[in-house]
């Protein structure tokens, strides 16, 4: 059945920049009404104006790591939009630090943002989706959630946890009309590495070469829209090397990790 985007309200977190911004613009172009969320009101307003038919979209800024703000944001979304058809859990933060150099509190911060904050918002939205007869939950995981690499121990663990949680959600709620898709981005040209946390919790502040050479956010959004329109549930959007690594991992994990150990991962 063809997706009728003009009938959909899509809530996108982390929509103030990067892939969240690109997804908002792409889905708005398809005709969907977008709820844009993130912490920066001014940036969200700018993204809204970049979307087709800006007056139809809604901006709800909040800190997703704060449970009370999340609950208030959900209530505002329902009050203003009336319904949420799709929830795209895109907000998150990355990591660039070796395990032995990372404070436990930093690992907890990453897990809180990249896992607990996502599942918390999803649990708030699900009852309404079930009542209205169905909906779609989209989790933005990472290729790092499929392959453990250096400098991303806690990040990869959080993204892998999100992936497994999504699998369980899909199994539990399929018969109640809830579709679940998980996206695994590889290197995308965004500020993700600039904002990534180092071992003491400070931001890295620089862009990785691999990120700089990755897919553009616009190309990422184009591939995601196409995949979700086709109701795909397991979506890897990455360069050739990352896709090859995921295939090698399925065939021979020991071979992959030998290659990873020998590679220059930063």
Catalytic residues: 155
Residue 135 sits at φ, ψ, to 5 deg, of 175, 180
Hey, is 197 helix, strand or coil? strand
The answer to whether the CB of 246 falls within 8 A of the CB of 143 is yes
Burial class (CB in 10 A: 0-12, 13-18, 19+), 144: buried
Helix or strand run (H / E) with residue 179: strand 178-185
Taking the CA atoms of 62, 52, 186 and 136 in sequence, report the sign of the dihedral they define.
positive
The set of residues, in sequence order, having a beta carbon less than 8 Å from that of 109 and lying 6+ positions away, is: 93, 197, 201
Whole-angstrom Cα distance, residue 111 to residue 218?
27
């Amino acid at each position: 059945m063809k997706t009728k985007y003009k009938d959909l309200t899509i809530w996108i977190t982390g929509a103030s920049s990067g892939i969240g911004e690109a997804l908002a613009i792409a889905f708005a172009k398809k005709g969907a009404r977008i709820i844009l969320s993130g912490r920066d009101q001014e940036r969200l307003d700018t993204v809204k104006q970049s979307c087709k038919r800006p007056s139809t979209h809604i901006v709800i800024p909040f800190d997703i790591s704060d449970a009370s703000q999340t609950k208030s944001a959900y209530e505002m979304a329902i009050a203003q939009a009336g319904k949420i058809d799709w929830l795209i859990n895109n907000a998150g933060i990355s990591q660039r630090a070796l395990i032995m150099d990372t404070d436990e509190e930093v690992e907890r911060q990453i897990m809180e943002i990249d896992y607990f904050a996502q599942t918390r918002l999803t649990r708030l939205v699900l009852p309404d989706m079930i009542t209205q007869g169905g909906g779609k939950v989209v989790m933005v995981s990472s290729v790092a959630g499929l392959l453990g690499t250096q400098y991303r121990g806690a990040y990869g663990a959080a993204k892998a946890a999100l992936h497994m949680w999504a699998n369980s959600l899909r199994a539990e709620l399929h018969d109640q009309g809830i579709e679940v898709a998980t996206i695994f981005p590889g290197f995308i040209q965004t500020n993700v590495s600039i904002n990534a946390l180092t071992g003491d919790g400070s931001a890295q502040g620089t862009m990785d070469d691999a990120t700089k050479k990755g897919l553009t956010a616009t190309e990422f959004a184009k591939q995601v829209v196409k995949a979700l329109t086709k109701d795909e549930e397991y979506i890897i959007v990455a360069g050739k090397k990352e896709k090859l690594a995921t295939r090698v991992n399925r065939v021979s994990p020991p071979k992959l990790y030998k290659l990873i150990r020998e590679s220059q991962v930063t």
